[in-house]
Amino acid sequence: MPDSSKRAVVVGPYRVHNFGDDLVGAIIAKHLQRAGYDVTVPKLGEQNAEWLGIEYAEDYGDLIQRSDMVVVGGGGILSDTSGSKPGASYLDIVAQAALRGELTGKRVMVTSVGAGPWILEKSKMLAFAVSILAEKIGVREQESYDHLASIGVSGPKVVLGADCALLSADYLDFAPRRGREMGFQFDVGSFEDLKANPRLQEISDAAIQYVRDNAKKITLISNGRGRPQLAASAPDTGIMRYAGLEDYLGRLSGHKTVFTSHLHLAITSYSQRIPTVSLYVREKTRRFYEQIGHPERAVDLSTATVDDFKRLIAEAETAVWTDKDEETLQRLKGDARRLLEFID
């Protein structure tokens, strides 16, 4: 750890041990380390903390009181529509941390987050409160910027950039591994609202059949600790689960293409120059594919058809990394760095 009197605590949705959220927390932590801070990311996990060289903590305790800066970061944390249960959020936890920071005279920053839309009025009020308490707020795309503006949060304190997960290879040291041709994630069972799509079962059946037919070429991927949803139906297919960032990033980097239902698997694959397509479970993923100039590679699962699935598979099988992709990646990485520069 740095020999420093400066301390920072990173607050976010880390208790679930979701790959994407943990990844953003880790990148924020490494940036703060480079800026000379001793860093703690409560609930990020002991294995990840050891790899990052940061203090491990299972809860917040007196960390906010002992810190010089509170950084809220990672995921759609200023929204209540980004998770599997619409209306649920981490806004209570975030607001409490921001308020404790303000009351104890700490700098409060928010960065690399998605904001809005909101289902509950309470969620909107909490997002507004956190925004008022924060010195700066870094949002990952234009729609989040616009959602904050719609509740009266705008001006110089709001910084528009791109998701810091794009900087995984710049901040985190992991060894790439050789993998299979396609990483395949279709973990949608916990998203109850998707069942309103009458074609969902047909799409799921088509996904299972495709994975079975191509078992030797595919790795089934989960972005959490549980087994991939399709694993039981395709037992001959290799699987990849998230236990720690170092191993997961190395294994992910070995794929030639990735089919995913979730945002941060798409972002991280793209950051490693792996073409991706998505039958997405939440509209925040659509925002990302528009950012990278490939809106045709993302389809909303709530309205998708089997033909959409087949088209995306065909796209995944033939997609290659282009000079235009490289140009866009470099631009977006610059935008992502903007969301870290102000937390030095």
pLDDT tens-digit map of 283-293: 899 999 999 99
Residue 89 is predicted with a pLDDT of 86
Residue 4 is predicted with a pLDDT of 57
Q: Cis ω on the peptide bond leading into residue 117 (within 30° of 0)?
A: yes
* Section 52-74 average pLDDT: 94
Q: Which domains does the chain have, with CATH numbers?
A: 7-160 (3.40.50.2000), 182-328 (3.40.50)
> For 251-274, what is each residue's pLDDT tens digit?
999 999 999 999 999 999 999 999
> For 132-183, what is each residue's pLDDT tens digit?
999 999 999 999 999 999 999 999 999 999 999 999 999 999 998 887 799 9
State the Cα–Cα distance between residues 8 and 10, nearest whole angstrom.
Answer: 7
Q: What is the pTM of this model?
A: 0.95
Mean pLDDT (the chain, rounded): 94
- Is the pLDDT confidence value at 2 over 60? no
